[in-house]
């Protein structure tokens, strides 16, 4: 609890650059360098595809590479301007994944176009659209970075976000199938020439809501209920909100016949609960609920039963309608690729239905082999871990919960989709973040990344005048959160900080100042970070009323 180190290990420059209160290195140069590296990889991939597909090698590829670098350089400049202390690896990881995704989508376009010519049909590729979506997504990314200067302001609108999230989730289910159904899943809203999956955005909005809600009500969830068999169960009434929220989301997902997001969503809620309360019992309760839900879904819905049969042996159900054909083709592709892969552009990824969306990882595994697939998974892991590091280092509870939740959601989504493609778990419809073709997924995930960057920026940003602003931005009474009210003890001031990631320890005494602030129920709003920081900085502050020390006991 007191070690603010990232899972990835101690951040060296943070440990060294802060002896005299000097600002930590922004590491923007590293970011730019890594972005250039990602550009080189993406451009080489494009060259390989064109070579293997016997396309004419032209200078156009250089322009594509430069355009790609240009787009991400713009993003880089925005980060430099608005989040200078953000983690330097997050954006390059995203750029790399996005680039590989674009190359794969373009490559599958070529194959589909060839097939279309053979049967004399017209075909227009989707790669240009994905490029457009990327540009839009980066614009949105910039928007989020500029508008949300401090992630804690999000807590002010948490209920609004929660409501919008629910509406977005429910909307496609409520709309007529004609404008909401694609391939049996009612998760779309079609606007003429393009369509969106509002669920992707709902994912983030609800995550914000849950994180904020849990921070506010953390105390409640840590109160022990009855002890059964030596296990302290949570009180039944505390389960209420979470069961309702999860139940609503899950039923909407089930109604939409889209199981992937449901699985993802439930996993993230569980993770948030566990982190907020530090009580594993929530995970146990959640998992048993999940198990029961699975059994129920299996016996109630034939499409769930079919998915499970396809998972157990896709070769067996190969010829059945809705059977294992797709998964089997993915496995054939992965097997054909083997360790080294067939080479970019030399495989047949288009054989798998949905090759450029849900099954894009199968294409990567086929053409780049186990090595390529493993590398992509490692990039995802790196991305998730850097996000998690930001969450660990940031000083406020909400930031920790939100950052951790977003990072976990990303990796969990990868697990659900990659696990489905490689037959580790039953296949559920879900996209690979940044790789898959699809505007909604791309837009939403860029928002996610913007938030991760914002949090990691907050974690490393020196805070000389941080005292003033939060007080000016006092949250409305209705959204004043109990957890923020951690009157830090003065003990923190005297203890040398073991925490290098918390630069220039602000005087914790200042943090205690708002104690007599507006006396609102359930407690006065406090500076959002002062309390948590005092807590993190000081082992001696065990007498503080903050929940941290309490729950640790």
Partner 1 sequence: MNTPLRRVGLAMLAMVVLLLANATYIQVVKAEDYRDDSRNQRQLLYEYSRERGQIVSQFGGTILAQSSKTNDRLQFLREYRNGPMYAPVTGYYSWRYGSAGIERATNDILTGEDARLFVRKLSDIITGRDPRGGHVQVTIDPTVQRAAYDAMTSRGFTGSVVALKPDTGEILGMVSTPSYDPNKLASHDGKKQEEAWASWNCDPSAPNCGHNNPMRNRAIQETYPPGSTFKLVVTAAALEDGATADTPVESASNVVLPGTSNVTLENFAGQTCPGSTLADALAYSCNTAFAKLADELGAQKLRSTAKQFGIGMDDLSIPLDVEQSHLGPLDSSAVLYQSGIGQRDVRLTPLQDAMLSATIANDGIAMKPQLVKELLAPDLSTLEEYDPDELTGDRALSSENAAVLRDMMIASEANTSGEGKRSDLTIASKTGTAEHGNDPKNTPPHAWYTAFAPAEDPQVAVAVIVESGGDRGLAATGGTVAAAIGRLTIDAALGEG
Residue 43 Cβ vs partner 1, minimum distance, rounded to whole Å: 20
- Burial of 476: CB neighbours in 10 Å, binned 0-12, 13-18, 19+: exposed
User: Is residue 391 part of the contact set for partner 1 (CB under 8 A)?
Assistant: yes
Alpha-carbon gap, residue 43 to 45, rounded angstroms? 5
Q: Please identify, using beta-carbon distances, which residue of 173 and 451 lies nearer to partner 1.
A: 451
Closer residue to partner 1 (CB): 185 or 214:
214
| Candidate ranges 140-148, 230-238, 334-342, 470-478; the one touching partner 1 (CB under 8 A) | 334-342
> What tokens appear for 453 in the block?
């960057």
Q: For residue 534, what are the CA distances in angstroms to 264, 353, 522?
A: 34, 54, 21
Instruction: Yes or no: say if 403 and 87 are a contact pair by the CB < 8 Å rule.
Output: no
Tokens 């390989």 map to which residue? 48
User: One symbol per residue from 115 to 154: x for binding partner 1 (CB under 8 A), - otherwise; what is it?
Assistant: x--x------------------------------------
Pick the stretch among 61-69, 150-158, 289-297, 395-403 that binds partner 1 (CB under 8 A): 395-403
| Closest distance to partner 1 from the beta carbon of 392 (Å) | 5
CB nearer partner 1, residue 9 or residue 12:
9
Q: Does 204 bind partner 1 (CB under 8 A)?
A: no
Contact between 314 and 333 (Cβ < 8 Å): no
Pick the binder of partner 1 from 163, 220, 243, 377 (CB under 8 A). 377
Pattern of binders to partner 1 over 52-71, x per CB under 8 A?
Answer: --x-----------------
- Please, what is the minimum distance in Å from the beta carbon of residue 276 to partner 1? 7
The reply on whether position 539 binds partner 1 by CB under 8 A is: no
Beta carbon nearer to partner 1, 240 or 338? 338
How does strand 189-191 pair with strand 224-228? unpaired
Instruction: Pick one of 219, 278, 354, 479: the residue that binds partner 1 (CB under 8 A).
Output: 278
Q: In this complex, which beta carbon is closest to partner 1, that of residue 184 or of residue 335?
A: 335
Task: Kindly state the number of chain residues that form the binding site for partner 1, as judged by CB under 8 A.
Answer: 62
Q: How far apart are CA 495 and CA 497, in angstroms?
A: 6
104 and 373 Cβ atoms separated by less than 8 Å: no
CB of 356 to partner 1, least distance (A): 18
DSSP string, 345-396: TSS-GGGSTTTTTTTHHHHHHHHSHHHHHHHHHHHHHHHHHHHHHHHHH-SS
Contact assessment for residue 218 and residue 531, using Cβ atoms and an 8 Å cutoff:
no
Least separation in angstroms between CB 364 and partner 1: 11
Binding-site string for partner 1 from residue 401 to residue 430, where x marks contact by CB under 8 A and - marks none: x--x--xx--xx-xx--xx--xxx------
Tell me which residue of 250, 246, 241, 285 sits closest to 269, measured CA to CA: 246
Task: State which residue, 380 or 434, has the beta carbon closest to partner 1.
Answer: 380
Q: What is the CA radius of gyration of the chain?
A: 24
Member of 373, 427, 484, 487 binding partner 1 (CB under 8 A): 373
Q: Does 4 bind partner 1 (CB under 8 A)?
A: yes
324 belongs to the binding site for partner 1 (CB under 8 A)? no
Site for partner 1 contains 360 (CB under 8 A): no
347 vs 426 by CB, closer to partner 1: 347
Tokens 């068999």 -> residue: 229
- DSSP 3-state of 78: helix
For partner 1, which stretch binds (CB under 8 A), given 183-191, 386-394, 504-512, 515-523? 386-394
* CB burial readout 117-140, b (16+ within 10 A) else e: eeeeeeeeebbebbbebbeebbbb
DSSP state of 24: P
Residue in the structure block whose two tokens are 């787009």: 71
- 255: contact with partner 1 by CB under 8 A: no
Q: Which stretch binds partner 1 (CB under 8 A): 150-158, 361-369, 430-438, 469-477?
A: 361-369
H helices of 151-197, in order, are 158-174
Strand ranges for 178-309 from DSSP E: 189-191, 194-196, 224-228, 231-234
Distances in whole angstroms, Cα of residue 196 to Cα of each of 175, 338, 385: 13, 35, 29
Judged by CB under 8 A, the residue of 138, 388, 430, 452 near partner 1 is 388
47 binds partner 1 (CB under 8 A): no
User: Given the structure tokens 């594993």, which residue do they identify?
Assistant: 280
Q: Quick one: 416 or 443, whose CB is closer to partner 1?
A: 416
Member of 195, 351, 473, 520 binding partner 1 (CB under 8 A)? 351
Could you tell me how far CA 295 lies from the centroid of its own chain? 28
Cα separation, 173 vs 189, whole angstroms: 10
Chain positions contacting partner 1, by CB under 8 A:
1-4, 7, 54, 115, 118, 271, 274-276, 278, 315, 318, 328-329, 331-339, 347-348, 351, 365-366, 369-370, 373-374, 377-378, 380-381, 384-385, 388, 391-392, 397, 400-401, 404, 407-408, 411-412, 414-415, 418-419, 422-424, 536, 548, 552
């Amino acid at each position: 609890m007191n070690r603010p180190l990232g899972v990835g290990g101690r951040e060296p420059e943070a440990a060294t650059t802060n002896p005299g209160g000097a600002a930590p290195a922004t590491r923007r140069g590293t970011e730019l360098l890594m972005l250039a590296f990602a550009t080189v990889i993406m451009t080489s991939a494009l060259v390989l595809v064109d070579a293997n597909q016997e396309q004419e090698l032209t200078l156009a590829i250089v322009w594509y590479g430069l355009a790609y670098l240009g787009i991400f350089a713009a993003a880089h400049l925005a980060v430099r301007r608005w989040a200078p202390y953000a983690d330097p690896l997050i954006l390059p990881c995203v750029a790399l994944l996005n680039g590989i995704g674009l190359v794969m989508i373009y490559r599958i376009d070529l194959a589909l176009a060839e097939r279309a010519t053979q049967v004399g049909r017209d075909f227009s590729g989707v790669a240009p659209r994905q490029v457009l979506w990327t540009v839009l997504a980066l614009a949105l990314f910039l928007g989020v970075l500029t508008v949300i200067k401090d992630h804690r302001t999000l807590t002010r609108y948490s209920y609004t976000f929660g409501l919008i999230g629910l509406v977005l989730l429910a909307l496609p289910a409520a709309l007529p199938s004609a404008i909401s159904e694609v391939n049996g899943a009612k998760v779309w809203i079609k606007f003429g020439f393009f369509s969106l999956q509002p669920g992707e955005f709902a994912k983030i909005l609800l995550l914000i809501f849950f994180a904020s809600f849990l921070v506010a009500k953390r105390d409640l969830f840590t109160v022990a209920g009855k002890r059964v068999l030596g296990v302290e169960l949570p009180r039944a009434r505390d389960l209420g909100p979470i069961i309702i929220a999860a139940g609503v989301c899950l039923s909407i997902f089930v109604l939409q016949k889209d199981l992937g997001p449901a699985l993802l969503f439930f996993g993230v809620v569980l993770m948030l609960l566990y982190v907020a309360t530090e009580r594993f019992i929530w995970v146990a309760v959640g998992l048993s609920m999940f198990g029961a839900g699975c059994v129920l879904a299996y016996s109630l819905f034939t499409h769930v039963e079919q998915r499970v049969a396809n998972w157990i042996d896709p070769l067996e159900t190969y010829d059945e309608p809705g059977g294992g054909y797709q998964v089997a083709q993915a496995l054939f592709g992965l097997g054909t690729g083997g360790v080294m892969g067939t080479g970019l552009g030399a495989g047949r990824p288009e054989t798998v239905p949905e090759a450029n969306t849900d099954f894009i990882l199968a294409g990567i595994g086929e053409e780049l082999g186990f090595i390529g697939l493993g590398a992509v998974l490692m990039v995802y892991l790196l991305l998730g871990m850097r996000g998690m590091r930001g969450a660990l280092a940031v000083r406020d509870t909400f930031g920790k919960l939100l950052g951790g939740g977003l990072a976990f959601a990303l990796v969990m989504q990868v697990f659900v989709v990659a696990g489905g493609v490689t037959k580790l778990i039953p296949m559920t419809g879900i996209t690979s973040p940044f790789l898959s073709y699809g505007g909604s997924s791309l837009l939403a995930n860029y928002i996610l990344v913007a938030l991760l960057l914002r949090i990691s920026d907050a974690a490393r940003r020196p805070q000389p005048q941080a005292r003033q602003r939060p007080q000016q931005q006092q949250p409305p009474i209705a959204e004043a959160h109990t957890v923020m009210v951690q009157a830090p003890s003065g003990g923190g001031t005297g203890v040398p900080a073991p925490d290098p990631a918390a630069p220039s320890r602000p005087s914790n005494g200042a943090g205690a100042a708002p104690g007599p602030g507006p006396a609102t129920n359930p407690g006065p709003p406090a500076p959002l970070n002062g309390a948590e920081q005092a807590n993190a900085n000081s082992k001696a502050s065990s007498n503080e009323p903050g929940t941290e020390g309490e729950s640790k006991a």
